[in-house]
Amino acid sequence: MVIHDNEDNQPEPSIWSIYGLKGNPFTTDAILIKEGFLPFETFVGRQEEIKTLSTILRMADGTRTIVTGDTGVGKTTFVNYIREKAITKNKFFTHLKEIEVEENWSSGNFISHTLASIYNTIDRIKLDTFSPRLKRRLSYLFDILDISNSGFSLNVLGTGGGYNHARQINNPKITNELLKGLFRAVVEELKRIGFDQIILHYNNLENLPKEKMIKLFVSLRDFLQNTKVHFIFVGGEPLPSAIYEEDKVRSIFVYGNIELNVFSYEEIIEILELRIKYLTNKGMRAFKPYEDGTIRELHKIHEGNIRDILNSLSVAMIEIIKENPNEPVILTKNKVRAKLKNILKKRYLSRMSEIDLLVLKEILKLGETTNTTISKNLGKKKQNISKHLNKLRRLKAIKIKKIGVEKIIKVSSEIRWMNLQEEVEPKKEVIEKRIESNTQKLLEGWTEEKTK
Ligand SMILES: Nc1ncnc2c1ncn2[C@@H]1O[C@H](COP(=O)(O)OP(=O)(O)OP(=O)(O)O)[C@@H](O)[C@H]1O
Ligand SMILES: [Mg+2]
């Protein structure tokens, strides 16, 4: 396999080929329907949640469900897995790519992007039984969206939500009513050609501030009550709190909230082994580029978050491959500790004052916290701590998220590398013994060969 170097377009061998791998086993890409780098054969766990969501999808009258969990725990992959299973059973229609919700969406944007996503799928999977007339109408809408996306006029669609007044242009013909009518027609048509139910997957709802989210759901109430459609909304905070705080919104989501937790160490090991197996060329022996102990330590410092674990492995691996471009090197605990701590020092710690570092360590210790708690614990004024928080945020060492009136502070995932154990120098005698023993065996073999 070759990859292309962007700069001079010269092909160079993939860095993974020295490991006998077709690509990066530590990629953080979600598993996608039909077109992803990783297949669903590498999907692990989530048995309880699969049962819950599958049961919901078997309800015949349309549902609205939310899937929540921390950043990078596996939400997108989970819902894609469920959708993939549902379409292979044939009675369900679902779009290929998740619908990525954006901050400035009005209800009109919401419905038109839903339609565009359905259109795109019908076109790509060559669903020829779908009415050509209706498909053509969708293609006009798709084209309008395409133009709007190129920044020409963001809000030609969706006069409903009332966001972005300044950029809205007057296009009285495309109303929410028209979009809703078009959506109903599409649902009917899908039903006519044999799909019982439709699953729609909206991703990254956490991109919307809480107030906007509530407003959007309220304005979409009737659209969401379609008896043939299962709406799945995916996102971390503030999605769940937005839904539970507003009665009008909560009443639409009676089917509940599926919360995904982090994977166990054993599950992470299983995911990595499946990935290595899948990425190894047929007929070749798979080469495992890490020690299990390394995964155990990363699992501990990242509290199980798979995205952070995979990212740490990728970063360490790239550093190690840079130094050893010719032979495969195994990611031992010591090597990973050394590489990651070195990067941590260069990128973050060397740019901090002693007090910055003190504040940072306090946040690392507390997990998710607020300025009030940090100030109290360190016995300093809040304004004083704010100064350091601003600097830490500029350095990308911390993340601050507004939830309601509260500002929740936590460290960026790389900062957790501070919790990696110190490197243990391998004992000199042990290394010497190993070299000696290997040399002896090598020479023994050599004399046998010669006497044959
Ligand atoms: N059940 C699973 N089995 C195997 N791999 C998984 C599973 N769930 C997630 N992963 C892997 O973990 C990584 C993170 O998953 P994913 O992108 O789905 O998380 P997410 O919660 O949607 O993240 P974000 O909050 O950033 O949207 C991806 O590389 C994905 O392939
Ligand atoms: Mg996701």
Q: 16 pLDDT band (50/70/90 cuts)? A: confident
Name all residues whose Cβ lies below 6 A of ligand 1: 27-31, 38, 42-46, 69, 71-77, 204, 271, 306-307, 310
Sign of the alpha-carbon torsion through 167, 169, 174, 177 = positive
pLDDT one-digit tens code per residue, 301-348: 999 999 999 999 999 998 888 888 888 888 999 999 999 999 999 999
CATH of the domain at 172: 3.40.50.300
The CB density around residue 360, as the number of other CB atoms within 10 Å, is 24
Final residue of a domain: which of 259, 283, 311? 259
Q: Does 250 share its domain with 367? A: no
pLDDT one-digit tens code per residue, 348-391: 999 999 999 999 999 999 999 999 999 999 888 988 999 999 99
CATH of the domain at 415: 1.10.10.10
Q: For the residues 139-167, what does the mean pLDDT come to?
A: 56
Q: Does 221 share its domain with 78? A: yes
Q: Calculate how far, in angstroms, residue 48's C-alpha sits from the geometric centre of ligand 1.
A: 17
Q: Does 96 share its domain with 236? A: yes
The pLDDT score that the predictor gives to residue 90 is 65
Final residue of a domain: which of 211, 242, 259? 259
Choose which residue among 40, 76, 269 to substitute to test ligand 1 binding: the one with the highest number of ligand atoms within 8 A of its C-beta: 76
| Residue 94 and residue 200 in contact, taking contact as beta carbons nearer than 8 Å | yes
Asked whether residue 295 is assigned to any structural domain, the reply reads no
Looking at residue 398, its amino acid is I
Asked whether residue 237 is assigned to any structural domain, the reply reads yes
- Report which protein residue has its CA nearest ligand 1's atom 29: 28
Q: Token pair for residue 10? A: 């010269």
Q: Calculate how far, in angstroms, residue 201's C-alpha sits from the geometric centre of ligand 2.
A: 11
| Residue 344 and residue 417 in contact, taking contact as beta carbons nearer than 8 Å | yes
Q: Calculate how far, in angstroms, residue 386's C-alpha sits from the geometric centre of ligand 1.
A: 34
Residue 379 sits in which domain range? Answer: 353-419
Q: State the closest ligand 1 atom to the C-alpha of 77, by its place in the atom list counted from 1.
A: 18
Go through 162-191 and write b for each residue having 16 or more CB atoms within 10 A of its CB, e for each that does not. Answer: ebeeeebeeeeebebeebbebbebbbebbe
- Report which protein residue has its CA nearest ligand 1's atom 16: 74
Q: Does 224 share its domain with 357? A: no
Specify the pairing of strand 197-203 against strand 99-100.
parallel
Q: Does 75 share its domain with 185? A: yes
Q: Does 373 share its domain with 238? A: no
Ligand that lies nearest to the alpha carbon of residue 47, given by its number in the listed order: 1
Q: Does 117 share its domain with 237? A: yes
The pLDDT score that the predictor gives to residue 162 is 41
Specify the pairing of strand 63-68 against strand 257-259.
parallel
Choose which residue among 48, 84, 307 to substitute to test ligand 1 binding: the one with the highest number of ligand atoms within 8 A of its C-beta: 307
The full DSSP string for 251-316 is TT-TT-EEEPPPPPHHHHHHHHHHHHHHHBPTTSPP---B-HHHHHHHHHHTTT-HHHHHHHHHHH
Q: Is it the case that residue 7 has pLDDT exceeding 80?
A: no
Final residue of a domain: which of 259, 287, 311? 259
The pLDDT score that the predictor gives to residue 307 is 96
Question: How far are the Cα atoms of 36, 93, 392, 408 from residue 373, in angstroms, in the given order?
Answer: 43, 49, 17, 11
Q: Is it the case that residue 231 has pLDDT exceeding 80?
A: yes
Instruction: Look at the chain and report how many structural domains it folds into.
Output: 2
In a 13 Å sphere around the CA of 107, the CA atoms on its Cβ side amount to 21
Of 168, 230, 169, 233, whose CA–CA distance to 205 is shortest? 233
Q: State the closest ligand 1 atom to the C-alpha of 274, by its place in the atom list counted from 1.
A: 4
Asked whether residue 280 is assigned to any structural domain, the reply reads no
Q: Does 381 share its domain with 248? A: no
Q: 152 pLDDT band (50/70/90 cuts)? A: very low
Q: Does 94 share its domain with 228? A: yes
Q: Does 227 share its domain with 105? A: yes
Q: Calculate how far, in angstroms, residue 432's C-alpha sits from the geometric centre of ligand 2.
A: 48
Q: Is it the case that residue 233 has pLDDT exceeding 80?
A: yes
Task: Please report, rounded to a whole number, the percentage of residues in the chain having pLDDT higher than 90.
Answer: 48
Bridge-partner residues for 399, per DSSP? 410
Asked whether residue 336 is assigned to any structural domain, the reply reads no
Q: Calculate how far, in angstroms, residue 79's C-alpha sits from the geometric centre of ligand 1.
A: 10
Residue 123 CA to chain centroid, in angstroms?
26
pLDDT one-digit tens code per residue, 386-420: 999 999 999 999 999 877 778 899 999 999 999 99
Asked whether residue 229 is assigned to any structural domain, the reply reads yes
Q: For the residues 213-219, what does the mean pLDDT come to?
A: 89
- Report which protein residue has its CA nearest ligand 1's atom 10: 74
Residues by chain with Cβ below 5 Å of ion ligand 2: 76
The pLDDT score that the predictor gives to residue 326 is 82
Bridge-partner residues for 411, per DSSP? 398
Asked whether residue 401 is assigned to any structural domain, the reply reads yes
Asked whether residue 50 is assigned to any structural domain, the reply reads yes
Q: 147 pLDDT band (50/70/90 cuts)? A: low
Asked whether residue 239 is assigned to any structural domain, the reply reads yes
